[in-house]
Amino acid sequence: MPFVNFATKEINCKIVYYGPGLSGKTTNIKWIYDHIKPENKGEMITLATETERTLFFDFVPIEVSNVKGFKVRFHLYTTPGQIIYQASRKLILKGVDGIVFVADSQEERHDANLDTLDDMIENLRDYDIDVSNIPLVFQYNKRDLPNVLSVDVLRRDLNRWSRPDFEAIATKGIGVLETFKEITRQVLKTLKRNT
Amino acid sequence: MLSLKPEEDRELRELLTKLAKDSKAKIIFFVDKAGQLISRSESPAFSSDDVTFASLTAGNVAASEALSKLLGESNLSHMFTETENEGIYMIVINGKYILVVIFDKRVSNLGIVRLKVKKYYAKILGIMERVERRIKEETMVSEAIDVDDIDLDSLFESGDS
């Protein structure tokens, strides 16, 4: 749910990067954080284990203004991908305005993609959010690795709602920006429609 | 969608500032449970990344609430975190919002803070209930929101986009 302050002309929106463990969610928002101008970003927070696995969430605040002085703040969150953190994933979805589903393209990780998608749909349902009504983008990551599934298979199995989707190699920044721009575009469009 | 009109923003800010003064707190944040900063007291001496603080507060409260549910409690009402010099008191308001009071332990204490928060609780809740009623009744939401020419390319260092 976006929050609008008409006094300060600020709009806050929450975008969550969801996906199975080690699919590259943190790599995505870290890349965005590293390439955004310093004046447009706040502090990046990472709540991770000693082995750099996300324990609770990562958080990146981004600000952008238009000529009329309206400031939009995108709060980017990642979820912990590992199965044991199901409860934490649900907490992070609270108040979500848009979701990026980061899938691991490797064949051996496809079951994990499918399980995580089911987990996401169920968690959204608990917040009374219908997955077919929320801004959503799919990203098929790790395209540079051997043994990847074709985009057609990934699209057929995961992107059941025919949403925009992108191939990516997040470690090199390929596809990261396109994914981010698409989800923010959808979130802004929804904001406009609801006002 | 939650929104604050300029007069509501002013009213809330003034109330939080008064509470901060009364409780001798360094600063008071008012956050929603999704981690968005709604308002804060006027505390020019306090500098921190407010947005990040709000996000972590909501995460902290959400995790503690989930813990209390595991213990069979239906709701978490408030929690307290302590550093060497500072106390952070968080109270959930109406199940939707979080009031965060940060105070210097040499200047104030948890007892005073809780007492003063108790005194202001109904007033803060009153403002938010009024805001929620107004949002519900609004059929024509303000057209003042203008996000038309938001240029995402301008966010990135040249050469990246």
Q: pLDDT for A37-67, tens place per residue? A: 999 998 899 998 888 888 889 999 999 987 6
With cut-offs at 50, 70 and 90, classify the pLDDT of residue B161. very low
> Can you tell me the distance from the alpha carbon of B103 to that of B25, in angstroms, rounded to the nearest whole number?
4
The span from the CA of A113 to the CA of A123, in Å, is: 15
Does position B142 have pLDDT exceeding 80, yes or no? no
Architecture per CATH, domain A3-193, reads as 3-Layer(aba) Sandwich (3.40)
Domains, chain B, with CATH or none:
6-145 (3.30.450.30)
Interface test with B, best of A65, A91, A187 (most B CBs within 10 A): A91
Quick check: A78 and A57 in contact, CB under 8 A?
Answer: yes
- Long-range contact list for A149-152, CB < 8 A, 24+ apart? A149/A105, A149/A106, A149/A107, A149/A110
- Count of A-B CB contacts under 8 Å: 138
Quote the tokens at residue A187: 């979130």
Q: Which residues of B touch A11 (CB under 8 A)?
A: 145, 147
B112: closest CA of chain A, how far (Å): 31
CB contact under 8 A, A45 and B56: yes
pLDDT in tens, A127-144: 999 999 999 999 999 999
Tens-place pLDDT, residues A142-181: 999 999 999 999 999 999 999 999 999 999 999 999 999 9
Mark yes or no for CB contact B149/A68 under 8 Å. yes
Task: Tokens for A4, please give them.
Answer: 């609008």
**Residue listed under structure tokens 């106390």:** B87
Note which residues in 4-23 of chain A have CB less than 8 A from chain B: 4-8, 11-12, 14
Question: How large is the ipTM?
Answer: 0.83
Find residues 126-165 of chain A whose CB sits inside 8 Å of chain B. none
